[in-house]
Structure 1
Amino acid sequence: MKKRLFLCLAACAALLSAGVSFASDILKPRGVVELFTSQGCNSCPPADAVLNGLVKTGDVVALGYHVDYWDYLGWKDTLATPDSTERQKLYGKAFGKREVYTPQAIINGRVHVKGGKRGAVGAALSELERTGQGLTIPINVVRNGESVIIETAGAPNGKDDAHLILVHFAPRQPVTIERGENKGQIITYVNPVTDVQTAGMWHGKPARFELPRSEVNKQGGCAVLLQKVNKEGLPGPILGAAVISAEAGSP
């Protein structure tokens, strides 16, 4: 018994010295939910609550993209960015839609449902898993010194192309809505996206990406998405994902 305990402790020490992080990192999520929402839309608070619930489950990469096209209704969304609006418009083009809407939840980059319907979001996640359209490419993340190492598995056929995308998000925060359709409400927003950037290319083979630790160790956290993008630059299926939580004491 003592020998087993010693071996277990030694293994844990080895993992820690290698830089593996446990905290609230999500390395084996069942899916990715991207919610397009707005503080100025009176249909969005139920969807924001759904996203909050998904974050609490700990097995879904849940991201809140705040759009700015409802700001004219009397309240300027304090978390909105033009990039979030642009990402939703690109998804709209990819789905062949002339208009976008809120709250819209996009699951694994493949399907979209009304974000305020928890049952619809859950059903979409389950159906994609059942039909082999879940997250099929494992992603491993290790912190090592001043670097973060992102390792991806290969495609079953060894041939595929996707972008390695970093989605930075801020910490959970309550916002008091002072004007507009949600005036007087205090709504807590989780994982509000602050920046999206492409960090590299994946070509269907096992790959290793090394990034500066400072790049991913920002306030809130960072999601890593392995996402197909077509020749027109439109986002497609997400093949793999992970979440890197911000480290304690980071700015």
Structure 2
Amino acid sequence: MKNQISAALISVVLACAVTPGRAEDNSVQSPVLPVVELFTSQSCSSCPPAEAYFRSLASRDDIVVMEWHVDYWNGLKVRGAGAWRDPFSDAAFTERQRRYNAVLRKTNNVYTPQAVIAGQFETVGSRTGQIDNYINRIDRQDASFISFEKTDGVASVILPDGLLSEGDEMRLVTFHKRAETKVAGGENSGLQLAEAHVVHTDEGLEAEADGIVRFEPPENGSGCAIVIVDKAGLARRAAYCPSFTSHRAPA
């Protein structure tokens, strides 16, 4: 199993600088929330409406929103515009989408824009009413909080007992809180796209010899989330990593 971390107590230490003018000792609780994901591409003409909707979802405080850019649209050449390589696309994100569809739709076929809600439901990413309905249907379980603390410039996080089930993996996802791109090719050539919570890294977290999980915090302008992935590889729940400021995308 990739994750040998005890569900009772996990300390994650971040090597982060103390914010000037703030108290040395801080404690913040971050709620564990359902994950709402969008698989998208800047080269897909159907995707901008879905991205606009997910930009509004990113401002909500009852879900964790992540936007994954796939790479299979990068080679599409449009007459008069050529192809466009999505700068946020990654083959690993395409593979993630294929894994999701193998579980949720029993197929290796993929499409964009695709929304996945709490690893339970999937639908076209621009079907806002359907997505809202699925969000309302999510089993919220008992309210859980991850406690983040910062002392002498070092932050740590403690997971409540029972948060991780057998086979669950804890992962760190970092994302651009907001991104703007002038598209110069593909189906969206000429458009200025504004996107939120655009994922740029996804990595597993494992304890070191001393039992502590350490990772570098994201740079300014980026956010992160600690994501609970089940044994099927689906993200179910997550908690935003507080920077002791705000994790939400700008309006």
Q: Give the TM-score normalised by the residue count of structure 2.
A: 0.75
Q: SS of 1:235's equivalent?
A: coil
Q: What letter is aligned with 2:146?
A: I
Residue pair 2:33, 2:238 contacting (<8 A) in 1 also: no
1:38-187 matched pairs, under 5 angstroms: 38-73=41-76, 74-95=83-104, 96-129=106-139, 132=140, 137-155=144-162, 160-187=166-193
Amino acid in the other structure paired with 1:194 = H
Q: Retained in 2: the 8 A contact 1:148–1:211?
A: no
2-structure distance, mates of 1:143, 1:221 = 17
Secondary structure of 1:155's aligned partner: coil
In structure 1, what is the Cα distance between the partners aligned to 2:92 and 2:205?
16
Name the CA distance, whole Å, in 1 between partners of 2:26 and 2:62: 22
RCO (CA 8 Å, sep 6+): is it higher in 1 or 2?
2
**1:57, CA displacement in angstroms?**
2.2
Answer yes or no: is the 8 Å Cα contact 2:28–2:147 preserved in 1.
no
What residue is the counterpart of 1:32 in the other structure? 35
Alignment coverage as a number of residue pairs: 213
Question: Cα deviations across residues 8-63 of structure 1 (Å, max 9, x unaligned)?
Answer: xxxxxxx95432358xxxx2254211110000001100110111001122332111
Runs of 4+ in structure 1 deviating by more than 4 angstroms, as ranges, are 134-137, 245-248
Which structure shows the higher helix fraction?
1
Q: CA RMSD in A?
A: 2.7
Segment of structure 1 superposing worse, 140-149 or 47-56: 140-149
Residue identity opposite 1:187 in structure 2: L
Match of 1:9 in 2: none
- State the one-letter code of the partner of 1:113: T
Q: For the residues of structure 2 that align with 1:43 and 1:90, how far apart are their CA atoms?
A: 22
List gaps (5 residues or longer) in structure 1.
Answer: 1-14, 202-207
Counterparts of 1:223 and 1:92, CA distance in 2? 23
TM-score (normalised: structure 1): 0.75
Q: Percent identity among equivalent residues?
A: 27
Report what 1:5 is aligned to.
none
Partner SS state of residue 149, structure 1: strand
Tell which deviates more after alignment, 28-37 or 75-84. Answer: 28-37
